Chains A and B, each alone.
Chain A
Amino acid sequence: GAVVSQHPSRVICKSGTSVKIECRSLDFQATTMFWYRQFPKKSLMLMATSNEGSKATYEQGVEKDKFLINHASLTLSTLTVTSAHPEDSSFYICSARDRHINYGYTFGSGTRLTVV
């Protein structure tokens, strides 16, 4: 089946630094990527939708200048958390929509971000 590889799985960074999270579709072309944030034992909150070659669409309340999303190719989307603060600590998950899989969505394995 379709695979989305997400890296890193865990990252610890200092306040004020930036962190980049990558999601790669390994065996299909991801025309659309979704980025979610999840708090402990809570539901997934959609942060933004990115389409290859165009600007991401951010959900209401998500700071686009803080959470930079780039979807430069059909197999790679990145989320950069800029000037990270402890409140940005969370579990971030990407999901790819593959038009060749009937209404299919494939999720990355997630990234645990801890800002100290």
Chain B
Amino acid sequence: AQSVAQPEDQVNVAEGNPLTVKCTYSVSGNPYLFWYVQYPNRGLQFLLKYITGDNLVKGSYGFEAEFNKSQTSFHLKKPSALVSDSALYFCAVRPFNQGGKLIFGQGTELSVKP
């Protein structure tokens, strides 16, 4: 079965420190991977995606993610966290040949304290 896992329900970081939000996936074929952020009572905002090419993907708001095929991971990172980064983060995978739908991880709540 194709799936995405975010092993941490919550990540707490001090402002200015680096942050990592973890994601692992299980898909057949080459994965298309995405990160989205959600603020309370809002839709999802796109951060970045990996389709092919360079394993290090840079996205919006200073976020980046590294595709690691051997570890089947796509962790989201930022060198210096901001309080405004506090939100719910979702990793998603687009399975091959399933009409383009996305499968989401369970979400990780990021809390950045001053």
Contacts and interface: CB of A to CB of B under 8 A. Distances in A.
Contacts of B107: 41-43
A91 interface: yes
B63 interface: no
Contact of B109 (A32, A41, A108): A41
Contacts of B36: 107
B94 interface: yes
A93 interface: yes
A108 B34 contact: no
Contacts of A32: 99-100
B41 A57 contact: no
Interface stretch (A67-75, A78-86, A97-105): A97-105
Interface string B81-114: 0000000101000100001111111110100000
Interface of B is mostly: strand
Contacts of A9: 41
Contact of B101 (A43, A49, A93): A49
For B41, B100, B106, the residue with the greatest tally of chain A CB atoms inside 10 Å of its CB is: B100
Contacts of B68: none
Give the size range of B's interface with the partner. 20 to 34
Given A97-B100, A104-B46, 16 more contacts: A6-B43, A34-B102, A41-B88, A41-B107, A43-B105, A44-B44, A46-B103, A93-B43, A95-B102, A103-B49, A103-B94, A105-B34, A105-B102, A108-B43, A109-B43, A110-B41
Which 10 residue pairs across A and B have the least CB separation, nearest first?
A107-B43, A107-B44, A109-B43, A43-B106, A110-B43, A44-B104, A43-B104, A108-B43, A97-B100, A43-B107
23 contacts: A9-B41, A34-B101, A41-B107, A41-B109, A43-B90, A43-B104, A44-B90, A46-B102, A49-B101, A57-B99, A93-B44, A95-B44, A103-B32, A103-B49, A103-B51, A103-B94, A105-B34, A105-B46, A106-B46, A107-B44, A108-B43, A109-B42, A110-B43
Interface of B: 32, 34, 36, 41-46, 49, 51, 88, 90, 94, 99-107, 109
